Amino acid sequence: MNPYNNGEHVCSPLRFLLKGISAGDFSSQEVIDHYKSRIEKFNQKLGAFLFLNPSDSFEDGSLKGIPIGLKDNLVTKDMPTTCASKILKGYIPPYDAHVVSRLRSSGAWFPGKLNMDEFAMGSSNEYSAFSPVRNPWNLDCVPGGSSGGSAASVAAGLVPAALGSDTGGSIRQPASFCGVTGLKPTYGRVSRYGLIAFASSLDQIGTFTRTAEDAALLLSIISGHDQKDSTSANVDLPDFSAQLTGNIKGLKIGLPKEYFSTGLSDEVESAVKKAVTDLEKEGAVVEEVSLPHSKYAVAVYYLVATAEASSNLARFDGMRYGLRVEDGALIPTYEKTRGTGFGAEVKRRIMLGTYALSAGYYDAFYKKALQVRTLIQRDFISAFEKFDIIAAPTTPTTAFKLGENLSDPLTMYLQDIYTISANLAGLPAISIPCGFSKENLPIGLQMIGKPFAESEILKAADAYQRITDWHLRRPREFDE
- Examine the residue annotation and report whether 12 is marked as an active-site residue of this protein: no
Q: Pick the binder of ligand GLN from 146, 223, 398, 465 (CB under 6 A).
A: 146
Distance set, CA 247 to CA 183, 276, 373, 463 (Å): 20, 15, 34, 7
Q: What is the 3-state secondary structure (H, E, C) of 131-142?
A: CCCCECCECCEC
For ligand GLN, the binding residues in 67-86 under the rule CB under 6 A are none
Q: Pick the binder of ligand GLN from 122, 143, 442, 449 (CB under 6 A).
A: 122
Q: Measured from the CB of residue 23, what is the shortest distance to ligand GLN in angstroms?
A: 39
Question: Which of these segments, 25-33, 61-69, 117-125, 454-462, binds ligand GLN (CB under 6 A)?
Answer: 117-125
Q: Measured from the CB of residue 198, what is the shortest distance to ligand GLN in angstroms?
A: 6
Q: Are 442 and 470 in contact (CB under 8 A)?
A: yes
**Helix (H) or strand (E) segment spanning residue 408:** none
Q: Which residue is nearest to ligand GLN (CB)?
A: 170
- Examine the residue annotation and report whether 170 is marked as an active-site residue of this protein: yes
- Interaction of residue 144 with ligand GLN, rule CB under 6 A: no
The site that binds ligand GLN (CB under 6 A) totals a number of residues, namely 14
Q: Which residues pair with 435 in a beta bridge?
A: 443
- Interaction of residue 462 with ligand GLN, rule CB under 6 A: no
Of 115 and 146, nearer to ligand GLN (C-beta) is: 146
Q: Pick the binder of ligand GLN from 96, 166, 213, 454 (CB under 6 A).
A: 166
CA distance 332 to 473: 53
For ligand GLN, the binding residues in 408-447 under the rule CB under 6 A are 415-416
CA distance 59 to 221: 15
Length of the chain: 480
Distance set, CA 345 to CA 8, 26, 51, 85, 123 (Å): 44, 46, 23, 11, 11
- Examine the residue annotation and report whether 128 is marked as an active-site residue of this protein: no
Q: Are 379 and 294 in contact (CB under 8 A)?
A: yes
Distance set, CA 426 to CA 60, 114, 167, 422 (Å): 34, 25, 10, 6
- Interaction of residue 356 with ligand GLN, rule CB under 6 A: no
Question: Which of these segments, 120-128, 129-137, 325-333, 374-382, binds ligand GLN (CB under 6 A)?
Answer: 120-128
- Interaction of residue 170 with ligand GLN, rule CB under 6 A: yes
Question: Which of these segments, 55-63, 166-174, 262-270, 356-364, binds ligand GLN (CB under 6 A)?
Answer: 166-174
Q: Are 471 and 178 in contact (CB under 8 A)?
A: no
Q: Which of 106, 123, 146, 421 is catalytic?
A: 146
Residue ranges binding ligand GLN (CB under 6 A) = 120-123, 146, 166-170, 198, 305, 415-416
